[in-house]
Amino acid sequence: MIELVGVTKTFNSGRPHQFTALNSVTLVVRPEEITVFKGPSGSGKTSLLTMIGCMARPTSGRIFLKGVAAALPFQEEGVEAVEITSLPERFLTAIRRSTFGFIFQQFNLINGISVLENVMLPAYTTGEGVAHVKARALSLLEQFSIGRHAAQRVELLSGGELQRVAIARALINNPAIIIADEPTAHLDSKLSEEFMAIVAQLKSEGRSVLIASHDPLVFDSPLIDSLVEMRDGEVVSSRSFR
Amino acid sequence: MKRSIERHLNILDFALSSLKRRRAKNFSLLAIYLLVIFLPASLLFFVSALKREAAIILSDAPDLVVQRLIAGRQDLVPKIYAEVIAGISGVSEVRPRLWGYYFDSWNGANYTIMTSDDRSLKQGKASVGSGVARSRKMKVGSMFPLRAEAKAPLILEVESIFSSRSDLMASDMIVITPEDFQQLFNFPAGQVTDLAVTAGNARELPTIAAKIVSLYPDSRPILKSEMQRTYQAIFDWRSGMVMLILAATMLSFIIFAWDKATGLSAEERREIGILKSIGWETSDVLLLKFWEGAVISLTAFLVGVILAYFHVFFFSAPLFAQALKGWSVLYPRFQLVPVLDAYQLVVLFLFTVVPYTTAIIVPCWRAATTDPDTAMRS
Amino acid sequence: MRRSLQFLLFIALNLIIVLLLPLHARNEQHAAARHDERLRSLHVTDLCLVTEARYSRHPAMADRHAAFQEHPLALEYFPSGSLITPPALLNTP
């Protein structure tokens, strides 16, 4: 479970073009559910996901992770929740690596190297044996039907195939939470439907999925569990379909 | 421990694939780097070997050589000086030396003509250096003329040719008897070129030199220590060729480091952002950049040193030999005996590999520590 | 074999060669024979590096005047003169 308390994010504070992306957001995201964040661009969805995913810190407010089954070396006995906003960068990165998997709007794959190497990259720095990582990466690629592209350079793939490489990469460290930012922006309807099917599959594996999208195919999908509507940096409404 | 090794190997794998991606740029970087190490390393080896040769040759040099100067120019020494100087206390032996230069207009070469008191050398016979033999296409038994001061040329027969191993000593030499020497140059009787003085105790040499000057104000004694210092100065890093090459090397490295320090390309910054967003820590990114630098610098250093060693000791340093040749028609074959010690290599390493690897990491510091958040927003 | 191990092997190989070079040098030094007796009896004072001019052939024997043979303000015209400079430490005239 992810809990946000009074989270505010201001860019360029004190200067003329000060911009408040999030204004005192308080929110609970339940585990093992598909939660969609809906809203026009500029509503703060991306900032919210960035901070939940330990990639940036809020200007004020706190974020808690509860019941996250990551083997955090600094976790004290008997303490359930981790407040990620006060952690130093090293621990933040450790959590990001083991708990979260990211799927970016632009995919953010590295050009010039193979699909397989792209998928294996997040696991390079954990010290895990390369043979294990490679096996896991190959099975993920097979799972998403792109195993035959393993040795190809990413520039040669189509949009839908790139999407699936990005998903495979997000899963390489077996994360509990998947975060996707506008995942269907570069996909047609058919591929978008396929994407939602994959998301449902991830949920059935016991993971939580957070998606930011202004695509009706996503936020109107019958598969989702929660819908959070945002506007101008504030939560307008929060609905659960359970 | 094993995890740490795996992490290093993984990051090294990625570093190598990153370098391979920009193949052309990195290849030319490696080539230039190699050259920048090859040149000073070659020079270092070349000069060290020559220093060793000089030390060996000079160990046989006379303790003191007495010349005579008139109006600042070198002139001939009267034989009587030898007898008087031999009387100075501390002097054990004075040998008058007859030697000089001969310009051969036939091939434009300068020979050093020396005389030997060796009884086995007969009149009309000569021992020649291998450079002379090559230049005049001589063999043992060949006859060759030298244009003498008198009307008729001096005909000499080659009795022996010095091995090319002794090139650095005698490549341009022709050794003949004193009688032939006198005939060749119409050398005035009772005069010699200079005097070679041997002293019983080396510490007395400066005193002996002072005494010689006071006896003969027109004399110029040269101590063995001064001869040795001459060669130290020639091979010193401050002089001539050594300075030129070191300066060029330093300049190249400054250019390298400058280029690196002025920042990363947008593509590189984007990649670092991506790596951080997928879970790489700052230390991981810096390790990656370190390995990228180390791959190139280690390869360039090791291969450069090996090539330099082969260049100097197996191929006789053609680059430098050319520079030293100048307008010489005769030149030694630089078949040098290798000299190599750890100190030289360590100094070279510290001046090249260390600054380059550092220069790679510094500009990445900023990019590596920024929030990966920017990757989301790109 | 993975790329990183290939590279490390390559470096190790080169490192071994570089570490063997001093041994080769020492070996060559011991094997280098002494000079001809007749040559040694000449007691030469200079290396035969350059034979262009007197003062570059015998720098240890050169006087201050040799380089100015032609004229007091004569400029150096032998290429090797820039490399084999007369020693600046002549302390006798």
Domain map (residue ranges) of chain A: 2-240
pTM, whole model, 2 decimals? 0.81
Burial of B3 (0-12, 13-18, 19+ CB in 10 A): exposed
**Given a cut of 90, is residue A160 above it in pLDDT?**
no
pLDDT at residue B340, rounded to an integer: 85
Across A205-226, average pLDDT: 90
B176 token code pair: 């003949």
The per-residue pLDDT of chain C, averaged, comes to 78
In our burial notation (b when 16+ CB lie closer than 10 A, e otherwise), range B149-172 reads eeeeebebebbbbbebbbbbbbbb
pLDDT at residue C92, rounded to an integer: 47
User: B284 to chain A nearest CA, in Å?
Assistant: 7
Q: Are B252 and B36 in contact (CB under 8 A)?
A: yes
B219 token code pair: 């004399």
Q: Hunting for tokens 């063995």 — which residue is that?
A: B224
For domain A2-240, the question of CATH label 3.40.50.300 is answered with yes
Separation CA B197–CA B201 (nearest Å): 12
Inter-chain CB proximity B326 and C92 less than 8 Å: no
| pLDDT class of C86 with cuts at 50, 70, 90 | low
Which positions ≥6 away from B77 have C-beta within 8 Å? Answer: B66, B67, B68, B96, B191, B192, B193, B194, B195, B219
CB contact, 8 Å: B255 with chain C? no
User: A242 to chain B nearest CA, in Å?
Assistant: 31
Inter-chain CB proximity C48 and B121 less than 8 Å: no
Window from A41-50, A116-125, B8-17 with minimum mean pLDDT = A41-50
CB contact, 8 Å: A169 with chain B? yes
Three-class HEC string of C21-83: HHHHHHHHHHHCCCCCHHHHCCCCCCCCCCCCCHHHHCHHHCCCCHHHCCCCCCCCCCHHHHC
Across A8-37, average pLDDT: 86
Q: Which one-letter DSSP state was computed for residue B166?
A: G
The per-residue pLDDT of chain B, averaged, comes to 85
Least CB-CB distance to C35: which of B10, B169, B341? Answer: B169
- Compare all CA atoms of chain B with the CA of C69 and give the residue at the minimum distance: B73
Better-scored residue on pLDDT, A19 or B370? A19
- For residue C43, the chain B residues in CB contact (below 8 A) are 60-62, 196
Better-scored residue on pLDDT, B63 or B255? B63
Phi, psi of A127 (to 5 degrees): 85, 10
- For residue B280, the chain A residues in CB contact (below 8 A) are 93, 122, 124-125
Across C64-82, average pLDDT: 66
Domains of chain C, residue spans: 1-32, 37-85
- Which partners does chain B have (≥3 C-beta pairs < 8 Å)? A, C
Across B368-378, average pLDDT: 60
User: B31 to chain C nearest CA, in Å?
Assistant: 17
pLDDT at residue B106, rounded to an integer: 81
Comparing CA positions, the residue from A38, A57, A79, A92 lying closest to residue A236 is: A38
Inter-chain CB proximity B14 and A121 less than 8 Å: yes
| pLDDT class of B375 with cuts at 50, 70, 90 | low
B101: helix, strand or coil:
strand
All domains in chain B, ordered by first residue: 2-58+234-377 (no CATH), 64-224 (2.40.40.20)
CB contact, 8 Å: B74 with chain C? yes
% of chain B residues with pLDDT over 70: 92
Window from B273-282, B359-368, C69-78 with minimum mean pLDDT = C69-78
